[in-house]
A and B are shown apart, each in its own frame.
Chain A
Amino acid sequence: MSSVATLQGADVQESHDTHQHHHHHETFITKYVFSQDHKMIAKQFLVTGMIWAIIGGLFSVIFRLQLGYPETTFPWLEDFLGHWAKGGKLQPEFYYALVTMHGTILVFFVLTAGLSGTFANFLIPLQVGARDMASPFLNMLSYWFFFLASVIMFSSLFVQTGPASGGWTIYPPLSALGDASSGSKIGMDLWLISMAMFIVSALLGGLNYITTILNMRTKGMSMTRLPLTVWALFFTAVLGVLSFPVLLSGAILLLFDRNLGTSFYLSDIAIAGKILPNEGGSAILFQHLFWFLGHPEVYIILLPAMGMSSEIISVNSRKPIFGYMAMVGSLFAIAILAFLVWAHHMFVTGLNPFLGSFFVLLTLLIAVPSAIKVFNWLTTLWRGSIRFTPGMLFAIGFVSLFISGGLTGIFLGNSALDLHLHDTYFVVAHFHIVMGVASFFGMFAGVYHWFPKMFGRYLNNTLAYIHFWVTIIGAYLIFWPMHYEGLAGMPRRYYDFSNWESFKMFGSLNEFISFVAMIVFAVQLLFVFNFFYSMYKGRKVTSTNPWGSNTLEWTTPIQPGHGNWPGEIPEVHRGAYDYAKDGHEFIPQNVPVGADETHH
């Protein structure tokens, strides 16, 4: 393949019978269920993630009903939720369970497993030029541990005392004591067991991604020629492998405190008329362990979105990504700093102020690599020739949201301001924009951009444009006004504000936000419909490289089989961003350097 590749090589029309079949027998089970093909595993992660996203999104719509219409009863809710919505009114216990599960599902199951599980699996072997992951078997196990975690978490929705309801951060003692909340009974144990399985899945996946990137790059694919997607997924995997074990240990200690009478997190507690014997533990210890994962987790969610947006912006601006080395360097800086800022979630826990000051400095330092990335994206657009494919629109939306949400981080990272803003709606607005919606935009950009490679068909463009425009307008309408609620001191995780003189004036705004949230949710269903419809009925892809992209995945057949390349794996001769160079619109990575080329 590499010897015949020319400038036009990647755009050659491909007839589907050029697939070279590998000589191992595949049954339905080995192909679709216990598959060891990284592309199929990626699709499994994606579809499972989408199912979770619908569930998690639906939960937010239900609790937004309570926040938007606290005086109204919805009799149909009782049909649907039974005694959790007695008389058509959501009960506080279940409201908190929904908030908790919404956070858990979206942070872990959708934006961690669904996002990096999908794209690390799909893109790493294809973009580094490998036939599969380093260990396809561990890769399969990674999905099935995730599936197991999903089943356990899903079953916790149906236990009599309800699922975990102490917030996705599950701070003890609330999460440790069944007397503190009905959600801290069996639902909490299931939550912890499910997360343990989830962490096993994340570790198996992460080790595989790192090994594959380091060891299985094709000939000529030096680290500095890797596409930024792969770099971002690499740092994501490193973050996960180094931080998830800490959460695992924290969760296991919590299980001990709950079930074996230990006192890691418990001390001096009198609850429900009982005096607990636990002494000497520290409730704050858990927060350190939790946020040692919890903060890197934010970047585990965000980095893949950054990497994919970088790639998509470059391809569709028909320009090289500006400052490739700076983009890699800033990813690296973010990955390092991600481990050194966790206590900025704990400024109001009574943390030593001197210690706090270090976390302020290191937290605000993250704004520097973030600024580099933003300016480099802007410069990539500058004097480009921009095609607004749906993927590109979502990538541009990602940059816009990353700016908006990133800047509010400068408020919250400064401990003095955090004294005022901590745990208000300002925080809700900040993290939903910067890591929730922005990462979703990165994920959507990725799905729209690589759907043709996944399924050999296109998504419907009109539905895609509707999806983009309603989502970005809706996201800003939902989260922008929340900053004002936060500046008024309105606390997050409140079931009802009507008894508060200080916070009750936002009733009509809350109603508006809930209304917009429902519309945005409905449009996501449109996307899901588009996804499954186009999988079978979408317009067929007719050329191997529909976006005119340089990276290796577009040198495979339209629908690559197990092993990805029917013949030899192409050799790489250049970086991934030779767009608009020397009068060529694009020069794929497998094209040898010509004698007339300038060196930059």
Chain B
Amino acid sequence: MKEFLMIALGVLIFVVIFQIAKASEYVSVLKGEEKTRKQNNRINAFFLLGFLVFGLIGAWYCNELYYGKTLFPQGSASIEGEKIDSMMWITISVTGLVFVITQILLFWFAFKYQASDNRKAFYFAHSTKLELIWTTIPAIVLAVLVVFGLKAWFKLTGDAPKDSIVVEVTGHQFAWEFRYPGPDNVLGKKDYRLTRGRNPLGVNFDDPASHDDIHVSGTMHIPVGVPVKMVINAQDVIHDVGLSQFRLKMDAVPGIPTTQWFTPKITTADMKIKTGNPNFTYEISCDQMCGPGHFSMRGVIVVETMAEYKKWLSEQKPEYYTVFPDKAPPMTDTATTVAKPVIAALTGNK
């Protein structure tokens, strides 16, 4: 019933608008088309000016409302992301200036040069000088933007520092998996044909390097202040590791591993204080359409101090022992046989 009333109301509004439009056509015939045309011209010119003024006020108001919700106020959570933020500010300044000037000229000219009885259009077909000016200036400005942009780009996509922690990130419909190389600092080989129930990542456990690898789902732990290199895979379709607070993104493509590295500079706990949001979480969003569950493909990154990170790592059990429980050392010994080498390797690396 409610829907029916809504439709009826919509139709009614339609009919009213149409009748007004129809009537205005008759009125214009009565008043004389020329007079109506002039009147319409004045009204629309005035509206265009109003649109400019209210539009600029609206843009400012929109900024007031939503600037605080963007990622600028909290700053980049990675050292590399700072470059992107400064690039962003340079680009916003340049484009913002061009935007305001050209929109003002467009609507101001439209208003100022509206047809009237004593206005005659000015014949002005071309001017090589003017055209050269507005070819050269944009070219120079853009060259500057390209230089700044590419400097940042090569830094961001360059090789990860040697002392990076390596984490393998694997996307599948619709979750994230993480694999740490363990004390030997080498990730065990994988073969997608080995993927099955107990071995969801298709690790080749014949490779001894895999025996100390740690596999966790959903949440990735990383220490603050140390570069992290992600080796990114996908098992089924293309996904994308989206790290908006760190200002980075990289696709996960089946069959073609990609990498991305960054240095987190604020722990999750500090970010909760900084943003004033006790629920603050670094989230991995899948940023490449991957199927009906795309919107729910959420991962979490916990950035913590080195001590917390080492403690967390020491509590993880290598995947080899979950897959082959009979090969696992007795429970009581786990801490000594597994965790100790992990810590030793980490401290040895430092």
Q: Which residues of A contact B (CB under 8 A)?
A: 76, 92-93, 96, 165-167, 169, 171-174, 177, 180-182, 266-273, 275, 281-284, 317-320, 322-326, 348-350, 353, 356-357, 360-361, 364-365, 367-368, 371-372, 374-379, 381-388, 393, 396, 399-400, 403-404, 407-408, 410-411, 414-417, 419-420, 422-424, 460-463, 465-466, 469, 472-473, 476, 480-481, 484-485, 487-489, 491, 493-497, 499-503, 505-506, 509, 522, 525-526, 529-530, 533, 539, 577, 579-582, 585, 600
Within 8 Å by CB of B146, from A180, A360, A460, A581, lies A360
Query: Assuming the A-B contacts A181-B292, A317-B113, are A419 and B248 also in contact, with contact meaning beta carbons closer than 8 angstroms in the complex?
Result: yes
Complex CA gap A350/B154 in Å reads 13
A385-B120, A499-B298 given as contacts; is B235 within 8 A of A270 (CB)?
A: yes
Q: How far is the CA of A318 from the CA of B41 in the complex (A)?
A: 14
Q: A283-B253, A473-B51 are contacts. A383–B238 as well, Cβ < 8 Å? A: no
Given contacts A396-B107, A416-B149, A522-B10, 15 further A-B contacts (CB under 8 A): A180-B173, A180-B237, A269-B236, A319-B124, A322-B127, A353-B157, A360-B150, A368-B139, A382-B113, A460-B21, A462-B20, A484-B67, A484-B69, A501-B280, A502-B244
Q: How far is the CB of A534 from chain B (nearest CB, A)?
A: 10
Chain A residues within an 8 Å CB radius of B258: 349-350
Contact B279–A501 (Cβ < 8 Å):
yes
Q: Is the CB of A361 within 8 A of B146?
A: yes
B255: contacting residue among A267, A368, A485, CB under 8 A: A267
- Our pick among B63, B202, B248, B296 for the contact of A499 (Cβ within 8 Å) is B296
Chain B contacts for A499, CB-based, 8 A: 296, 298
Q: Are B238 and A283 in contact (CB under 8 A)?
A: yes
User: Are the CB atoms of B149 and A174 closer together than 8 Å?
Assistant: no
Instruction: Check B344 for interface membership: any CB of A closer than 8 A.
Output: no
Cβ-defined contact, A379 with B130, below 8 A: yes
Question: Given that A357-B150, A460-B21 are contacting pairs, would A269 and B192 also be in contact in the complex, using a CB cutoff of 8 Å?
Answer: yes
Mark B262-281 against chain A: 1 for CB-CB distance below 8 A, else 0.
00000000000000010111
* Smallest beta-carbon distance A584→chain B, Å: 10
Q: List 10 A-B contacts (CB under 8 A).
A: A76-B3, A284-B256, A350-B259, A378-B102, A383-B113, A410-B142, A416-B153, A484-B69, A484-B70, A493-B295
Given A275-B195, A462-B25: A388 touches B236 (CB 8 Å cut-off): no
Q: Which residues of B contact A325 (CB under 8 A)?
A: 126
Answer whether A460 and B25 are a contact pair too, CB < 8 Å, given A319-B123, A388-B44: yes
Q: Is B40 an interface residue (CB 8 A)?
A: yes
**Cross-chain contact of A284 among B10, B71, B253, B283 (Cβ < 8 A):** B253
With beta carbons under 8 angstroms apart, the residue of B40, B47, B48, B88 that contacts A417 is: B88
**Chain B nearest CB: distance from A292 CB in Å?**
18
Residue from B37, B196, B289 with most neighbouring chain A CB atoms (10 Å) = B289
Shortest CB distance A495–B (Å):
4
Shortest CB-to-CB span from B56 to chain A, Å, is 11
Verify A174–B238 contact, CB threshold 8 A.
Answer: yes
Say yes or no: B146 contacts A364, CB within 8 Å. yes
Residues of chain B within 8 A of A357, CB atoms compared: 150, 153-154
Chain B CB within 10 Å, residue with most, of A174, A275, A416, A495: A416
| B198 proximal to A (CB < 8 A) | no
B248: chain A residues within 8 A (beta carbon): 419-420
We find that the number of chain B residues with CB closer than 8 angstroms to chain A is 121
The answer to whether B247 touches A378 (Cβ under 8 A) is no
> Do the beta carbons of B114 and A388 come within 8 Å of each other?
yes
Q: CB of B87 within 8 A of chain A? A: yes
Smallest CB gap from B291: residue in A: A181
From B69, B248, B298, residue with most partner A Cβ within 10 Å: B69
* A460, A484, A493: the one within 8 Å of B22 (CB): A460
Instruction: Check A383 against B121 for contact (C-beta < 8 Å).
Output: yes
- Cα distance A420–B72 when bound, in Å? 12
Binds A, one of B91-99, B216-224, B306-314: B91-99
Complex CA distance for A388 and B318, rounded to whole angstroms: 73
Q: Which of B105, B126, B238 contacts A173 (CB 8 A)?
A: B238
Given A180-B237, A267-B254, A419-B156, the answer on whether A92 and B249 have CB atoms closer than 8 Å is no
Contacts A322-B126, A489-B242, A493-B289 given; indicate if A417 touches B294 (C-beta within 8 A). no
* In contact, B41 and A268 (Cβ under 8 angstroms): no
**CB <8 Å contact, A414 and B145:** yes
Confirm or deny: B334 has a beta carbon within 8 angstroms of a beta carbon on chain A: no
Proximity bits, B15-41, A CB within 8 Å = 1, else 0: 001101110110010000000010011
- One digit per residue, 1 when the CB lies within 8 angstroms of any chain A CB and 0 when it does not, for chain B 77-116 equals 0000101100110010011001100110111011001111
Contacts of B238 in A (CB 8 A): 171, 173-174, 283
Q: Are A466 and B88 in contact (CB under 8 A)?
A: no
In angstroms, how far is the closest chain B Cβ from the Cβ of A155? 22
> Which residues does chain A contribute within 8 Å of B45, judged by CB atoms?
386, 388
CB contact between B114 and one of A275, A386, A422, A424 (< 8 Å): that residue: A386
Interface of B is mostly: helix
Is the pair A491, B242 in contact by a Cβ cutoff of 8 Å? Answer: yes
Instruction: Give A393 to B48 CA distance when docked, in angstroms.
Output: 9
Question: Most chain-A CB neighbours within 10 Å: which of B232, B237, B258?
Answer: B237
A residues less than 8 Å from B121 (CB atoms) = 317-319, 383-385, 579-580, 585
Taking the nearest CB of chain B, how far is it from the CB of A37, in angstroms? 30
- Known contacts A271-B235, A368-B135, A491-B285; is A92 also within 8 Å of B192 by CB? no
Cβ of B290 < 8 Å from any Cβ of A? yes
Give the residue name and chain of the A residue nearest to B194 (CB): A275
Task: Tell me, yes or no, whether B175 is within 8 Å of chain A by CB.
Answer: no
Give complex CA distance A371, B83 in Å. 27
The answer to whether A372 touches B135, judged by C-beta atoms less than 8 angstroms apart, is: yes
Q: For B62, what are the chain A residues with a Cβ–Cβ distance below 8 Å?
A: 480-481, 484
Residue in B152, B195, B295 whose Cβ sees the most chain A Cβ within 10 Å: B295
Q: What is the bound-complex CA distance between A522 and B115, given in angstroms?
A: 32
Instruction: State which of A177, A487, A509 has its C-beta within 8 Å of the C-beta of B236.
Output: A177
In the complex, chain A residues whose CB is within 8 Å of the CB of B162: none
For window 151-180 of B, CB contacts with A under 8 Å fall at: 152-154, 156-158, 173
Complex: A268 Cα to B294 Cα, angstroms: 21
Chain A, Cβ-Cβ closest to B279: A501
A173-B237, A388-B41 known; A422 vs B153 contact (CB < 8 Å): no
Closest to B123 in A: A580
CB-CB < 8 A to B291: which residues of A? Answer: 96, 166, 174, 180-181
Docked Cα-Cα span, A505 to B24, in Å, equals: 45
CB distance from A182 to the nearest CB of B (A): 7
Say yes or no: is B134 at the interface (Cβ < 8 Å to chain A). yes
Given A417-B84, A423-B240, A499-B298, do A400 and B103 touch, yes or no (CB 8 Å)?
yes
Partner of B109, one of A92, A323, A381, A462: A381
If A385-B113, A420-B84 touch, whether A364 touches B124 (CB-CB below 8 Å) is no
The yes or no answer to B326 lying at the interface (CB within 8 A) is: no
- Listed from nearest, the 4 A-B pairs whose CB atoms lie closest are A489-B244, A267-B255, A350-B258, A484-B66
Partner of A386, one of B20, B81, B95, B115: B115
Known interface pairs A167-B289, A356-B153, A473-B51. Does A539 touch B236 (Cβ–Cβ under 8 Å)? no
Whether B138 lies near A387 (C-beta < 8 A) is: no
Is there an interface contact between B109 and A382, defined as CB atoms closer than 8 Å? yes
A97–B15 CA distance with the chains assembled, in angstroms: 34
Would you call B286 an interface residue if the criterion is a C-beta within 8 Å of the partner chain's C-beta atoms? yes
Cα(A438)–Cα(B257), bound, Å: 39
> Does the CB pair A417–B292 fall under 8 Å?
no
Would you call B208 an interface residue if the criterion is a C-beta within 8 Å of the partner chain's C-beta atoms? no
Closest residue of B by beta carbon distance from A488? B70
Chain B residues, Cβ within 8 Å of A323: 125-127, 130-131
Contact of A375 among B63, B134, B152, B279 (CB under 8 A): B134
Q: Which B residues are CB-close (under 8 A) to A481? A: 62, 66
B295, A353: Cβ atoms under 8 Å?
no
User: CB distance A489 to B240 under 8 Å?
Assistant: no
- Specify which chain A residues have a CB less than 8 angstroms from the CB of B55 in the assembled complex: 476
Give the residue name and chain of the B residue nearest to A487 (CB). B70
Most chain B beta-carbon contacts within 10 A, residue among A267, A356, A422, A582: A422
